[in-house]
């Protein structure tokens, strides 16, 4: 029973470290990177003035009435 806590804690600390690193890697490569690519692809061909004119024609803005 001597040093039981120290042995178990060492095992659990290493296990928790590897699980957290694995979760961080899964999030980065499974969620964050595809999201960055999707935003980059969207803004590559995005025209804010065209979008503004579409919203203006739909009557979204109070300060810019539709033409």
Give tens-digit pLDDT for 20-47. 999 999 999 999 999 999 999 999 999 9
Domain ranges of the chain: 31-66
Domain 31-66 carries which CATH code? 4.10.93.10
Identify which of 26, 27, 23 has the alpha carbon closest to the alpha carbon of residue 15.
23
User: Taking the model in full, what pTM does it have?
Assistant: 0.68
SS3 string of the chain?
Answer: CCCHHHHHHHHHHHHHHHHHHHHHHHHHHHHHHHHHHHHHHHHHCCCHHHHHHHHHHHCCCCCCCCC
- What are the structure tokens assigned to 47, written together? 């025209």
């Amino acid at each position: 029973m001597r040093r039981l806590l120290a042995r178990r804690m060492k095992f659990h600390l290493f296990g928790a470290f590897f699980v957290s690193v694995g979760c961080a890697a899964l999030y980065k490569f499974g969620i964050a990177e595809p999201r960055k690519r999707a935003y980059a692809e969207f803004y590559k061909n995005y025209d804010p003035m065209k979008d503004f004119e579409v919203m203006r024609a739909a009557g979204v803005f109070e300060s810019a009435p539709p033409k």
